[in-house]
Amino acid sequence: MSKELLLVAEALSNEKGVPKETVIEAIQAGLESATRKLSGVDMGIRVKLDSRTGEYETFRFWDVVEEEELLYPERELTVEQARERAPDIELGGRIEEVMPSIEFGRIAAQSARQAISQKMREAERKLVEDQFKEKLGQLVYGTVKKVTREHVIIDLGGKAEAFLARNEMLPQEMFRANDRVRAYLYDISTEARGPQLLVSRTRDEMLVELFTIEVPEIGENVIEIKAAAREPGSRAKIAVKTNDGRIDPVGACVGMRGARVQAVSGELAGERVDIILWDDNPAQLVINAMAPAEVLSIVVDEDTHTMDLAVHEAHLSQAIGRSGQNVRLASQLTGWTLNVMTTEEFEGKSQEETAKLIALFTDALGIDDEIGTLLVSHGFSTLEEIAYVPKEELLAIEAFDEEIIDELRSRANDTLLTQALTGGDVGAAQQDLALASLEGMTDELLKVFEDRGIHTRDDLAEHAVDELMDVPDMTEEKAASLIMKAREHWFADDKA
């Protein structure tokens, strides 16, 4: 039987395309399974098969474990039991004894067949997985083997099959058996039945890989594709950059008479591809990404990661695109939220934002509209900027001297401190705190004033002395002092 075993190993190795050593291991596993089954005991069995002669030996083994971990007496021993057979044995060791080998006849072969088949299937799957691990993140080619409503199975050759789900296919895309397919391998899913190669034709990486094939400069790293965005089967945008100033990256990707971009578009069922120039400046990148629409003005809000774009009214539909496609792709490509509007809407929004900022400064700092307008026109948009920017930036405003700047910075700091303490906005919370801090003010007085509708310094400042005389324990001198203290900030504002 020894020669027959070698012949079986040779035949299986050639048929399955797996190494002969793997087949030998599978046969050994099959013999171990058959021996265990024929003995009727769940014993530990090891079979050693000589790959040159085909002869094999069978060993029974026991693993040495802790007494409390002894679960399988037929193939495990405690340290004490093991040392009765081998005095030098240690925990975790193994004791083996030679036992008669079974004949590799009909019964043994039937018992071993299932174990051998299982091992061979595992070996085949491992072979496929190892083969395609190197191709992960690349395009693969194959032939359609099976088509269902939910997916397509693609034969990649060498017993490898790829799974193309319906949601990874282009809209309206149809396949028939034996059609040639190119797809992007994005994952290898290891399942009980073996590795499953998952491919896609809708992912951005598919577009990038197609351009890498069509444009040699990309493969040579002379041109980089910095970003890509797609609406599969309809339209896409890619941003490209050159590492060689002598090469036009957009022209290279378009190709002679558009040959290169047309080849990519043809592979993707006519998907239109816009190629734009990458720019490290986010605003300029957005302007490029909005092509073919021309952006006239742009406002960047880094806090909300948003940009407002102004275009001619006649070009608004082009800028937005059909069903918002152009601006949506530009947003995906650049990573910014984009608001497209006409120049009139842009100016109206700009004026509204300017008015809000002026109101913020006048309310928070106790200044007039003229000073608030100066601050906004010189690019100041938050109280933090006024409080913390270098003094030289404020001195650049011609109408300001150091005394005014120090007062503005002091007020800005006070307002920010108030906001931090109250957790509220600049408005009533700040003014309430200012009222409470007036010299001579008490908690009892604050409660009385609150009941009378006096919530702020301005509310108190507008009162006359005789209007406060009916307040308990109030004197003319005290009323006059409180009112004058409440009016002090008016004179400070006038001076500023």
Nearest Cα to 493, choosing from 392, 419, 411? 411
- Give pLDDT, residue 402: 82
- Give pLDDT, residue 282: 93
pLDDT value at 458 more than 90: no
- Percent of the chain clearing pLDDT 90 (strictly above): 28
Domains of the chain with CATH codes: 2-122 (3.30.1480.10), 135-200 (2.40.50.140), 359-495 (1.10.150.20)
Per the prediction, the chain carries an average pLDDT of: 83
- Give pLDDT, residue 425: 46
B/e letters for 365-397, b = 16+ CB within 10 Å, e = fewer, are bbbeeebbbbbbeeebbebeebbeeeeeebeeb
The answer to whether 486 and 457 have CB atoms below 8 angstroms apart is yes
- Give pLDDT, residue 431: 45
Give me the phi and psi of 276, to 5 degrees please: -120, 160
Kindly report, residue by residue over 240-285, the tens digit of the pLDDT.
Answer: 999 988 899 999 999 999 999 999 999 998 999 999 999 999 999 9
Kindly report, residue by residue over 25-42, the tens digit of the pLDDT.
Answer: 777 887 888 888 877 788
Total Cβ atoms within 10 A of residue 5? 21
Find which of 172-176, 209-213, 340-344 is predicted with most confidence, using mean pLDDT: 209-213
Cα–Cα distance for residue pair 110/386, rounded to 1 Å: 87
- Give pLDDT, residue 429: 44
- 3 state DSSP class of 493: helix
- Give pLDDT, residue 331: 94
Kindly report, residue by residue over 425-451, the tens digit of the pLDDT.
Answer: 444 444 456 777 778 888 788 888 877
Q: Find the distance separating the first CA and the last CA of the chain, reported in whole Å.
A: 109
- Give pLDDT, residue 196: 80
Burial of 130 (C-beta count, 10 Å sphere; 0-12/13-18/19+): exposed
pLDDT value at 109 more than 70: no
- Give pLDDT, residue 12: 66
Nearest Cα to 141, choosing from 116, 160, 119, 167? 160
- Give pLDDT, residue 432: 57
- Give pLDDT, residue 428: 46
pLDDT category at 327 given cuts 50, 70, 90 is very high
Q: Which residues pair with 235 in a beta bridge?
A: 231, 272
pLDDT category at 119 given cuts 50, 70, 90 is low
14: left (phi over 0), alpha (psi -120 to 50) or beta: alpha
C-alpha distances out from residue 138 to 132, 162, 212, 269, 413, Å: 10, 13, 10, 20, 57
C-alpha distances out from residue 166 to 175, 176, 198, Å: 11, 14, 12
